[in-house]
Structure 1
Amino acid sequence: MAAGGSDSDRRRAKAALFLACCGLVGIAPHWLPPGRSLVPALTLATLLGGYSLRTVLLQAFRRRPSEAPAAAAPAGACPAVDVVVAARDEQAVIARLVERIAALRWPEGQLALWVVDDGSDDRTPELLAELQGRHPFLRVLRRPRDAGGGKSGALNLVLQQLGGRWMLVLDADADLQPDVLERLVPWAEAGGWAAVQLRKAVVNAQTNLLTAAQAMEMAFDAMIQEGRLANGGVAELRGNGQLLSREALLKVGGFNEDTVTDDLDLSFRLLLEGLPIGVLWDPPVQEEAVLTLPALWRQRQRWAEGGLQRFFDYGSGLVSDRLGFSQKLDLTCFFLLQYVLPVVASADLIGTLLTRTAPTMWPFSIVALALSGMAIATGCRRPSEGPPLPEMNPFSAGLGIVYLVHWFLVIPWVTLKMALLPKKLVWVKTLHLGQDHGDPLLAADPGEGPMESDPELASEASHV
């Protein structure tokens, strides 16, 4: 459903206030005497750098609790699991996905695959009909292309019909190891998690430098999330490869159809209800990285907008007594590093040009990027299942750091758009090429789909 006018106006006002405050923080030090202009940046670099360093080092040297054991779950302890995929125009990958789910080791009758065909215009409906004849566990729901609510609307449609204890949400290009459920579900239940996010592993990291950088970023993200949890902080869902307790999901009201990123929004609603989210390093969920800078730019704009929007929507709850001190501290540090720093750095650059003085925020930026590089190197050197992570050397570490600078462009641009432009929710999807990356199950049919797909689309609900 489209965002209500009042909600959209409130978000727009909050974005404008956020932009103004960050702009003032970035420009104000230029009015200070030269000896004091670096004090704000040095203070932030020390405080936030110390917290981030602790998070990185804690994960580098602690025992690994987030790797599920390879032993299979006892047959009598296997609850019903519903695998759910929202699909639109996925003819290049949908058959391969069904075969991958068929290969999962889980008792017959305890596993169902639900595919919501969300108004596909390609051969996805015909392929699903053929696959249903071969796979009794496959169930297909269809809804009109203009049904509204984006991916969240599709997931809510199927949520009403599920009966399993667990719901595993996947993208259409996802790949899983056959033993993933045998390891994931017992680990989730033993840990008392309401949701678990699998580490996202890039299957096409060898394609070009951009996909290699995204593979590094996914390892960096999973390791930082583990460190945040270990410090008493919080973890977040990432959409593809998220295992959700159906009971917990119903308790928070299902998926929010008035959001850009359903996974990030759900993370905060679970947090505010005291329902914990875990992160599992191994086994991972494999997915395709985007291949071009324009595709990356579109995808990251959506991620940035969804990330900021949830802070605007749930800010009052995040500062209430519903969260503990460690959780508030973690969220504050994350918010400052991920969202405030890029906007403040942009304002600092503007202040430099206007006042013709030296930049003042560079110590903060350098410390943040240096620690990110350390986290990338640590994560990529960690033993892992799935596709091999990029080998660490000075060039690859430098590539990872340079790659992360794109957030210094994306965040300010998205913040400016959120503050100035009205929003309209539409459904968009990431282009899944279905290329064969050594998959022994099923390679994509080169005569189907990829060249007919719309490269302007990106994977979930977005704003334009």
Structure 2
Amino acid sequence: MARHVARRAPRAHWLLLLLGLVVLLAALSFNGLVTGVGGGTGPSQAYASPAPRQVTTGGPVLRLDTPTPVTRRMRDRTIALTFDDGPDPRWTPQVLDVLRRYHAHATFFVVGARVNAHPELVRRILAEGHEVGSHTFTHVDVSAVPAWRARSELAWTRTAIAGATGREVTLFRPPFSSVTTALTAPQYEALRDAAGSGHVAVLADRDAKDWQRPGVSAIVRAATPQGSAGAVVLMHDAGGDRSQTVAALDQMLPRLIREGYRFTTVSEGIGAPSSMVQATVGARLSGAALRWAQAGAGWLTSAMNLLLGVALVLGVARLAVQVVCARRHVRRVRRGRRRRPEVTAPVSVIVPAYNEAANIAATVRSLVASGYPALEVIVVDDGSTDGTADIVERMRLRGVRVIRQENAGKPAALNTGIRAARADLLVLVDGDTVFQPDTVYRLVQGFADPTVGAISGNTKVANRRGLLGRWQHLEYVIGFNLDRRMYDVLGCMPTIPGAIGAFRREVLLGVAGVPSDTLAEDTDLTMKVLRAGWRVVYEESAIAWTEAPSSLRQLWRQRYRWCYGTLQAMWKHRPALHESGAGGKLGRRGLPYLAVFQIVLPLTAPAVDVFALYGLIFLPWSELAVAWLGLLLLQGFTAAYALRLDRERLGPLWTLPFQQLVYRQLMYLVVVQSVVTAVVGNRLRWQRMVRTGEAAALVGAGPSVR
């Protein structure tokens, strides 16, 4: 209702948020790509046509950048041991130790992502006189991916090696390849494409098949050339348990050396110059950037895993605490009703109204019909322009007064009514709220306890037709009302809703009335009452029907104001963290709870949703489905329990999955907008909801409207 001067709301933060989420998804996807590396048999090529005969019958070293393929073989009694899939921090050092022991050299076809993870191992490989070649960046089958992906894999690997060693490589062995006779036409085309970027393909004469772990003797037999022929031997130093490979090397090397074999690199074995050339400064810098990007993506993914785990634990703990506290609250209320005396003291109901013509008659009529023994109703018209005050005056109802004032805002209207009230028990009601006949009576019974200063009633959504209405209905019942039961048990109720709340007059006078310096005057007032040392409790049986926003735009405006006002109230009452008594309970229980579950976790929700999208791309769908269904069932159980406590039907539960997919996103975007507004210091004006009059239909209907 109050009219504040507002500056234009910031818009750049939405672009920054979108950009941040895109970067986050890209980083997570990059990490998912590089961490998916691994060895194995690869895709089946059983039905692929073979490569050209001149290639399958030629040597294992293939130069394919000319119209006619050129193949080369090892010299006699020359063996080029080649190791795929590394470097591996456990097995690569053991392989290098065996090679050094027998003064043998080899060629290591490294995976680019693993080079970035263990650059020191690649530097050691070169320092000990070995050769390095490319085995793609993520161990992908280059014949089964688009050409751009294959070229990117080779470029990234070359860049990674340049960043780690200062050298660029030209040798390339495709993952899932073996001897030349097994080369297929798709693989051959992929190798020809790789030759276009300066790569020389290296296959094998002998495949040790050590990845199958057939036993040390079998590996030695498979790796040993026939007669005095030379050979390129395919082995692995990563991708699994390579203990048999290490043991086989320790047996094979001394025996074949005694037989006159020498072990060298592929390039030296065919009499070619070194396959590695000095990298440019740009290539080195690109390699360093790629390595840091991979490390950053890994750290970010770990952080997201931690965040998701913490959020999950907190969410489950919250549900558990809510359910436990709700059960305790039910038992406490039952005991209290049997023991406490009846309260029949006079009550003044104060209704602040600004352009409430759609519902004001129904609101006043429901209050008068309460049947409470001593009741006055004060309608404070805060400068309405739609004839709100005239409607009430024409009703000529006994015990109803109308006070007109210039528009000054809801807090001012409430304070006007408080000053004019005659009773010591005051009920504050919004102008769009409808009471049931017993609501006032049930609401004030808690005042039988002299330590109780204020009481929250049970707000229910009147216009719950359609998905949006059902979602808000579930939110009120599950979120707000379960929370209020918990707050009651823990003694830290932060908000008595403006739709229905009862106060002792002395309490309101003691805290200087309803504050006007925040947009959540109901939260601000409740916190002031707690800090004054009074108890604030929840009366679930005192039901008020209110009109909820009927469009997404109205919902956004309402929740934006609520959230922003709550932030203001939390900041204003932060000294409660150091107080004792009821104020201390608010500071050390209520405020942290609000901060975690209404601010921090919603702020992280966009990142969690991006992580879920990442999971859909890179994680097994079965695991994601089980996790999501598990959480949904847990929420469904809690929702069913909350609906049962409120004596509501379970029918709206079918909308719960859609609420998680749509409504939740709107709510966390509201929090983002509110926090940004608070941080940049913008002043948010009061944004009034358009009334449709649906709450008015509840007069006389009561609890049947469910």
Cα separation, 2, equivalents of 1:434 and 1:54 = 35
Deviation string for 1:354-413 (max 9, x for gaps)?
xxx999xx9xx98998865543332123352xxx455254x2332343323322111001
Whether 1:183 and 2:442 are equivalent positions in the alignment is yes
Instruction: Give the equivalent residue in structure 1 for 2:554.
Output: 295
Map of 1:335-346 to 2, 5 A cutoff?
Answer: 335-346=595-606
Whether 1:98 and 2:364 are equivalent positions in the alignment is yes
* Alpha-carbon offset, residue 87 of structure 1: 0.8
Cα separation, 1, equivalents of 2:632 and 2:455 = 28
Cα separation, 2, equivalents of 1:216 and 1:102 = 29
* Alpha-carbon offset, residue 328 of structure 1: 0.9
Cα separation, 2, equivalents of 1:3 and 1:90 = 20
Q: What letter is aligned with 2:549?
A: V
Instruction: Give the equivalent residue in structure 2 for 1:412.
Output: 672
Cα separation, 2, equivalents of 1:327 and 1:375 = 27
Map of 1:140-179 to 2, 5 A cutoff?
Answer: 140-145=402-407, 148=408, 150-179=409-438
Instruction: Give the equivalent residue in structure 2 for 1:378.
Output: 641
Cα separation, 1, equivalents of 2:457 and 2:600 = 27
Cα separation, 2, equivalents of 1:265 and 1:311 = 8
Q: What letter is aligned with 1:161?
A: A
Aligned with 2:592 (options 325, 332, 340): 332
What SS does the corresponding residue of 1:431 show, helix, strand or coil?
coil
Instruction: Give the equivalent residue in structure 2 for 1:459.
Output: none
Deviation string for 1:120-166 (max 9, x for gaps)?
112223222222xx323111111113xx3x10011112222223121
For the 8 Å contact 2:348–2:421, the answer to whether it is kept is yes
Aligned with 1:115 (options 368, 379, 382): 379
Cα separation, 2, equivalents of 1:191 and 1:391 = 40
Map of 1:57-456 to 2, 5 A cutoff?
Answer: 57-59=323-325, 61-62=327-328, 63-66=330-333, 77-107=343-373, 110-131=374-395, 134-145=396-407, 148=408, 150-190=409-449, 192-205=451-464, 207-220=465-478, 221-321=480-580, 323-324=583-584, 328-346=588-606, 374-384=637-647, 388-391=648-651, 393=653, 395-402=654-661, 403-420=663-680, 422-423=682-683, 425-426=685-686, 428-434=688-694, 437=697, 439-440=699-700
RMSD: 3.9
Q: Greater shift after overlay, 405-414 or 49-58?
A: 49-58
What SS does the corresponding residue of 1:97 show, helix, strand or coil?
helix
5+ residue gaps in structure 1? Answer: 443-464
Cα separation, 1, equivalents of 2:456 and 2:592 = 22
Cα separation, 1, equivalents of 2:646 and 2:701 = 25
TM-score when normalising by structure 1: 0.75
Cα separation, 1, equivalents of 2:552 and 2:664 = 13
Deviation string for 1:59-82 (max 9, x for gaps)?
4644444478599985xx521211
Instruction: Give the equivalent residue in structure 2 for 1:41.
Output: 307
TM-score when normalising by structure 2: 0.51
For the 8 Å contact 1:199–1:222, the answer to whether it is kept is yes
* Alpha-carbon offset, residue 202 of structure 1: 1.4
Q: 1:88 to 1:317 in 2, by over 3 A?
A: same
User: How many residues in Structure 1 have an aligned counterpart in Structure 2?
Assistant: 407
Q: 1:281 to 1:153 in 2, by over 3 A?
A: same
5+ residue gaps in structure 2? Answer: 29-295
Percent identity (aligned): 25
* Alpha-carbon offset, residue 436 of structure 1: 5.2
For the 8 Å contact 2:494–2:590, the answer to whether it is kept is no
Cα separation, 2, equivalents of 1:3 and 1:265 = 18
Q: Which has the higher Rg, Structure 1 or Structure 2?
A: 2
Cα separation, 2, equivalents of 1:423 and 1:333 = 25
Deviation string for 1:210-249 (max 9, x for gaps)?
1111111111111122123324543521111111111111
Q: Which has the higher contact order (CA 8 A, sep 6+)?
A: 1
What SS does the corresponding residue of 1:33 show, helix, strand or coil?
helix
* Alpha-carbon offset, residue 255 of structure 1: 0.9
Cα separation, 1, equivalents of 2:300 and 2:646 = 47
